Amino acid sequence: MTEQNHVNENTKNEALEPYRQDAGDKLTTNQGVKVNDTDNSLKAGTRGPSIRDDFHFQEKLTHFDRERIPERVVHARGSGAHGYFQPYQSMAEFTKAKFLKDPSIKTPVFVRFSTVGGSRGSADTVRDVRGFSVKFYTEDGNYDIVGNNIPVFFIQDAIKFPDIVHAIKPEPDHEMPQASTAHPSFWDFISLIPESTHMIMWLLSDRTLPRTLRMMQGFGVHTFRWVNAEGKSRFVKYHWKPLLGVHSNVFDEAQKLAGKDPDFHRRDLWDSIDMGDYPEYELGVQIIEEEDEHKFDFDILDATKLIPEELVPVRPIGKMVLNRNPDNFFAETEQVAFQPSNVVPGIDFSDDPLLQGRLFSYHDTQLHRLGSPNFVHLPINRPVCPFHNNQQDGRMQMEVKTTRVNYSPNSLGENLPAVSSAEEGGYVHYPERVEGHKVRERSPSFKEHFSQATLFWNSLSPIEKDHLVAAAHFELGKVGDQGVRDRMVDRFNHVDHELAKRIAQGIGVAAPSAITVQNHGQSSEALSQKNTTKTAKGRKVAILAANGVEAAQIMSIKQALKAAGVVAEVVSQFKGTIKSADGKEIEVDKTFLTGASVMFDAVYVPGGAKSIQALQMNGEAVDFIHEAFKHYKAIAASGEGVELLKAANLQGVSRLDSYVQDDQGIVTTRSADASEIAKSFINAIAQHRHWNRLVHKDKVLA
């Protein structure tokens, strides 16, 4: 062996030696400086704003922001749409933001919906938090509300953001699982961070399985400031409410959709806009006077808390309509750069430590991901109003500037561009008084972590509670470490004793014998999807048919559904056309292979003896009915179509031979006149699910 080969061999072995943690290792910065606190960012006082000389925070966040090339670290999987926002009335009493002053003005917007944990190639319908971000192209510049479909978050301080995302993401040794929190490292982290308890309740609920993006609520999460022309400040929280109501998939349905159509949410959003069935969302705000900042038994700057609507009602202030699909996914949906720091005069920030960190991190992320500080020149990010500054050069510089000066002040260029006074619309930060020692601490008002988790649990309907418990059984059932499962049961015992016992029963943990915290008994109606808007508008119905179907019955139901804003598609064995009993050609929209029941909100079976005979012999057609029933969807049949429902052997359902419209959402008639059941069928569709079905005799679980 030569000396050169000997050197290379030693070098190779050192490079391949795994990096291992030793028991005595201490956390340090990348410069080797030992760290005494990695849970709290440096602030001016315990409730004060974050401070820029926090080198550990900056290093931790800048490294995190650059961990993925080139897709987003989080929210990689997204869907976008253009539209407009229009206020209902002037909000000048509360804010000088111009786009909220004139009800006749429609402000252009671009919205991006996204999952959090998965990569760009992951499925739409996984259990996950969803991003809900809106860019307003106002006359005073771009304003971004960068939110989620959950009103709270896992952590209180942005310095923990890399930790929570690392825990959510696939485990680093084997890169599994994709787009799922059902794995040990996530629950290990959660079991050690009590502040996450409230968010975990939302994560395990039906809220993380939205039926469509058109039926998903949105929140700004943080507390912001509104400032009016007189300089008066108030705190504000944002709520986006879908006009179709807030509705979810059941878990079995979501899993099957991930296989049948991984793009289900993206496709639904695109198709709805393409058909002119525009998604609509109402923007509401909770406004808190400055003098009321400390009147609650929680801190309004704590991102793990919400403000119950019983304490501060949500005031509707305007409507957003999404009416145009992107022309190019990459140029728009992929390159759009949202930043909480994008504000306009009249809107400012609070000292929420999670928000304070995001103000830095999001801009830093865009610099890394889009490769240049000139990302604002991209059409999707460019303001609709003129913009002028001395920022020149850099990659992707698209402005051909002819001035000889690029500094301020200057005399050679007439001191242009000049700054604007407040009266001229110049942005002025609210002069909040700030004082305090530099400390790595949190305010004592951030210390309570369980009361709102209990509030959420108390607010759920019985079926929603069943789903949450089943979700915990699935998620924690994937965790092999007994200690993690034990800690999580103890955590749930701080929320509700019966909840902890029910979860323990399904994950191999001894049920807690003592009540850790007495349930306070409070609830909030707004937190349950049971109390949402119920309408058939925007739903999709499958019409099962084969050769020999009664065309008149199909046409009758289709007309009634169309009038109610419902889309109906014919599903049969093969693509192409089928012939009705009277010889008419009927277009087939989907086959049983391409149009599974999980893609539809309801099912209708028209009559026609030959059609029903063929469908009864087709196991896929019978399974289609059975699965829709299992997922609690509305089902209707007319004429001989009732026989297919009988063949599906729907458990617990009787009286199919006569007209039925009961709490099980089954609508039938032996008559050949399908119009007799149209109204009842539409009402059944509007209920979204019919939970009273006896799919499981002991308990209804999805």
pLDDT at residue 677 greater than cutoff 60 = yes
Rounded to whole angstroms, how far apart are CA atoms 378 and 375?
A: 6
Contacts of 45 (CB under 8 A, 6+ apart): 434, 435, 436, 437, 439
How far, CA to CA in Å, does 551 sit from each of 126, 577, 583, 602? 38, 12, 9, 19
Report the share of the chain in percent with pLDDT over 90.
77
More confident residue, 649 or 603: 603
Q: 3-state class of 349 per DSSP?
A: strand
Confidence grade of residue 694 (pLDDT, cut at 50, 70, 90): low
Q: Name residue, tokens 């961070």.
A: 193
d(CA 262, CA 696): 28
- Quick one: pLDDT at residue 182? 96
CA angle at residue 330 from 324 to 336, to 5 degrees? 75
Instruction: Please state the rounded mean pLDDT for residues 125-134.
Output: 98
Q: What is the pLDDT of residue 395?
A: 82
CB 284 within 8 A of CB 319: no
Copy the structure tokens of residue 426.
Answer: 């110049």
Q: How many angstroms separate the CA atoms of 633 and 689, rounded?
A: 5
Q: What is the CATH number of domain 451-531?
A: 1.20.1370.20
Measuring CA to CA, which residue among 597, 588, 549, 592 is closest to residue 569?
Answer: 588
The reported pLDDT for the residue numbered 650 is 84
* Dist. CA 87–CA 105, nearest whole Å: 8
Structure confidence by residue, pLDDT tens digits, 47-90: 999 988 887 888 788 778 876 647 888 998 999 999 999 999 99
Give the Å distances, CA to CA, from 586 to 271, 552, 560, 628. 22, 11, 18, 24
Note the pLDDT of residue 419.
Answer: 83
pLDDT for the residue 660:
62
Report the pLDDT value the prediction gives residue 20, as an integer from 0 to 100.
63
Comparing 476 with 646, the larger pLDDT belongs to 476
Q: Is the pLDDT of residue 1 over 60?
A: no
* Among 272, 240, 261, 221, CA closest to 126: 261
Bridge pairing between strands 634-638 and 602-605: parallel
Q: Which residues of 635-665 are buried (b: 16+ CB within 10 A; e: fewer)?
A: bbbbbbbbbbbebbebeebeebeeebbeebb
Q: Residues spanned by CATH 2.40.180.10 within the chain?
A: 43-377
Q: pLDDT tens digits, residue range 562-584?
A: 999 999 999 999 999 999 999 99
Torsion 430-435-440-444 (CA) sign: negative
Spatial contact of 53 and 41, defined as CB atoms under 8 Å apart: no
Q: Residue type for 467, please?
A: H
pLDDT band at 497 (very low <50, low <70, confident <90, very high): very high
Amino acid 21: pLDDT: 61
Instruction: Taking the CA atoms of 585, 591, 594 and 597 in sequence, report the sign of the dihedral they define.
Output: positive
Q: How far is residue 426's CA from residue 191's CA, in Å, rounded to a whole number? A: 47
- In angstroms, the CA 350 to CA 237 distance is 11
- The superfamily CATH assigns to domain 540-686 is Class I glutamine amidotransferase (GATase) domain (3.40.50.880)
Q: Write out the residue limits of the CATH 1.20.1370.20 domain(s) in the chain.
A: 451-531
Q: What is the structure's pLDDT at 19?
A: 55
Hey, is 40 helix, strand or coil? coil
Residue at token pair 């003005």:
105
Sequence letter at residue 358: R
- Contact in structure between 474 and 516 (CB atoms under 8 Å): no
* CATH fold for domain 43-377: Catalase HpII,  Chain A, domain 1 (2.40.180)
> Angle 497-506/482-493 helices, nearest 10 degrees?
160
| 653: pLDDT strictly greater than 90 | no
On whether the CB atoms of residues 554 and 587 are closer than 8 A, the answer is no
Tell me the C-alpha distance between 193 and 174, whole Å: 24
CA distance 225 to 236: 6
Residue extent(s) of CATH 3.40.50.880 domains in the chain: 540-686
pLDDT of residue 531 exceeding 90, the answer is yes
- Arithmetic mean of pLDDT, 180-206: 98
The identity of residue 657, as a single letter, is D
More confident residue, 663 or 158: 158
Q: What interhelical angle do 675-686 and 551-563 show, nearest 10?
A: 40
Count of alpha carbons within 13 Å of 81, Cβ hemisphere only?
Answer: 29
> What per-residue confidence (pLDDT) applies to 430?
92
Phi, psi of 260, deg, nearest 5 = -70, -40
Confidence (pLDDT) at 396: 82
Query: pLDDT digit string (tens) for 197-241?
Result: 999 999 999 999 999 999 999 999 999 999 999 999 999 999 999
Residue 507's region, left for phi above 0, alpha for psi from -120 to 50, else beta, is alpha
Please name the amino acid found at residue 235: F
pLDDT at 258: 97
User: DSSP string of 152-210?
Assistant: S-S-SSGGGHHHHHHHHSPBTTTTB-TT---SHHHHHHHHT-GGGHHHHHHHTSGGGSB
Q: Cα(113)–Cα(209) distance, rounded to whole angstroms? A: 14
pLDDT at residue number 387: 80
Contact 4, 400 (CB under 8 A): no
Whole-angstrom distance, CA of residue 313 vs CA of residue 420: 37
- The label of the residue with tokens 């004060």 reads 48
**What mean pLDDT is predicted for residues 395-419?**
85
Model confidence pLDDT, tens digit, residues 12-34: 444 445 556 666 777 777 777 77
Burial class (CB in 10 A: 0-12, 13-18, 19+), 421: exposed
Which residues contact residue 556 at a Cβ distance below 8 angstroms, ignoring those fewer than 6 apart? 673, 674, 675, 678
Q: Which residues are catalytic?
A: 75, 148
Q: Kindly report the average pLDDT of the chain as a whole number.
A: 91
Query: 583-589 long-range CB contacts below 8 Å, 24 or more apart?
Result: 584/551, 586/545, 586/549, 586/551, 586/554
